[in-house]
Amino acid sequence: MLIFSISDFTQNATKILDAALNDEVIINNGEMSYKIIPVKNDNLKGKSPLEDIPYITADITTQEIVELIRESRAGT
């Protein structure tokens, strides 16, 4: 974890953001702290983050789904 003051960040923003690609960075201005957490690059290799969510196949149209939702909301 790397900790910088707001003035350090103002002077060296590019270098600090580059460092944040690999390490957690905290920027502290005395009253508040801002945390920059690196994104795991494994998730960015061209696949959707929703790819691993299980699903079902159903023979139903979008309009039927909308109608079911409206009916369920009307009952409350």
Q: Residues 25, 47: contact at Cβ < 8 Å?
A: no
Q: What angle do CA 21, 27, 31 make, to 5 degrees?
A: 160
pLDDT score recorded for residue 41:
61
Q: What does the pLDDT look like over 11-58, one tens digit per residue?
A: 999 999 888 888 889 999 888 888 888 766 655 566 676 777 888 888
Rounded CA-CA distance 6/32 in Å is 10
Look at strands 2-5 and 33-36 and give their pairing. unpaired
Q: Residues 3, 26: contact at Cβ < 8 Å?
A: yes
Q: Residues 16, 8: contact at Cβ < 8 Å?
A: yes
Structural domains of the chain, ranges and CATH numbers in brackets: 1-39 (3.40.1620)
